Amino acid sequence: MPMSNPSFAIKGRCPGALQPMASGDGLIVRVRPPLGRLSAAQALRVAELAQQYGNGMIELSTRANVQLRGVAPAAHAPLLQALAAQGLLDADARSESLRCIVLDPFWQPDDGLQAGALALQQAVLGASGLDGLPPKFGWAVGQPQRPALASVSADVRLWCADGQHWWLQPDGQAQAIACPSLDTALAAALALARWCATQARARRAQGQHPGRVARLWQADTPQQLPLPPGCRWQASPVPPHDGAAPHHPTPGAHPGGHWLLAAPLGRIPAADFARLAQALQAQGGDAGLRITPWRMVLAEGAPPADAGRWIADAHDPRLRVWACSGAPGCDQALAPTLALAEGLAAHLPPGVQLHVAGCAKGCAHPGATTLALCAQAEAAPASDPLFALIDQGRADTPAQAHRAYHRASALLAQPALLQCPP
Ligand code: SF4
333 Cβ below 6 A of ligand 1: yes
Establish whether domains 21-90+264-299 and 317-418 are of one fold: no
Dihedrals phi, psi of 62, to nearest 5 degrees: -75, -5
The CATH number that domain 21-90+264-299 falls under is 3.90.480.10
Residue 340 Cα, ligand 1 centroid: separation in angstroms? Answer: 15
Question: Does 421 have pLDDT greater than 70?
Answer: no
Mutate to test the pocket of ligand 1, among 267, 322, 330 (most ligand atoms within 8 A of CB): 330
Identify whether the C-beta of residue 93 lies closer than 8 Å to the C-beta of residue 7: yes
- pLDDT score for 212: 79
Say what the pLDDT of residue 257 is: 86
β-bridge mates for residue 355, sequence order: 322, 372
How many Å is the Cα radius of gyration of the chain? 22
pLDDT one-digit tens code per residue, 5-55: 444 443 444 668 888 999 988 999 999 999 999 999 999 999 999 999 999
For atom 5 of ligand 1, which residue has the closest CA?
A: 324
- For the chain, helix, strand, coil in percent to 5 are 30, 25, 45
C-alpha–C-alpha distance, residues 47 and 6, integer Å: 22
pLDDT for residue 272: 97
What separation in angstroms does the CA of 238 have from each of 150, 179, 185?
7, 15, 17
Q: 12: which DSSP letter?
A: T
Residue type, 223: Q
Helix (H) or strand (E) holding 297: strand 296-299
pLDDT of 172 strictly over 60: yes
Amino acid (one-letter) located at 374:
C
Q: Which pLDDT score, from 0 to 100, does residue 106 have?
A: 94
Q: What is the DSSP letter of 420?
A: P
- Give the count of alpha carbons within 13 A of 215, CB side only: 10
Mutate to test the pocket of ligand 1, among 332, 365, 374 (most ligand atoms within 8 A of CB): 332
Does pLDDT of 411 surpass 80? yes
What average pLDDT score do residues 405-411 get? 95
The confidence score (pLDDT) of residue 11 equals: 41
User: So what's the pLDDT on residue 5?
Assistant: 42
* d(CA 337, ligand 1 centre) in Å: 10
Segment 164-182 mean pLDDT: 96
Helix or strand run (H / E) with residue 388: strand 386-393
Q: Which CATH number fits domain 317-418: 3.40.50.10540, 3.30.413.10, 3.40.50.720, 2.60.120.960?
A: 3.30.413.10
Q: Are the C-beta atoms of residues 166 and 185 closer than 8 Å to each other?
A: yes
pLDDT digits (tens, 9 = 90+) for 75-125: 999 999 999 999 999 999 999 999 999 999 999 999 999 999 999 999 999
309 lines ligand 1 (CB under 6 A): no
Residue range 351-379, pLDDT digits in tens:
999 999 999 999 999 889 999 999 999 86
- Tell which one of 322, 324, 374, 394 to mutate to probe ligand 1, the residue whose CB is within 8 A of the most ligand atoms: 324
CA 369 to CA 383: how far, in whole Å?
A: 27
Ligand 1 pocket, residue 330 CB under 6 Å: yes
Split at pLDDT 50, 70, 90, the class of 325 is: very high
Mean residue pLDDT across the chain: 91
Measuring CA to CA, which residue among 30, 16, 49 is closest to residue 274? Answer: 49
Exposed, middle or buried: residue 12 (CB in 10 Å: 0-12, 13-18, 19+)?
exposed
Q: Where are the domains of the chain?
A: 21-90+264-299, 107-235, 317-418
Report the pLDDT averaged over residues 164-174: 95
Q: What is the pTM of this model?
A: 0.92
Q: Cα separation of 353 and 359, whole Å?
A: 18
| pLDDT value of residue 118 | 97
Q: Can you give the length of the chain in residues?
A: 422
Between 248 and 293, residue with greater pLDDT: 293
Residues 121-138 have pLDDT tens digits of 999 999 999 998 988 899
Min mean pLDDT across 142-156, 189-203, 210-224, 385-399 is at 210-224
pLDDT at 289: 97
Q: Is 187 in the pocket of ligand 1 (CB under 6 A)?
A: no
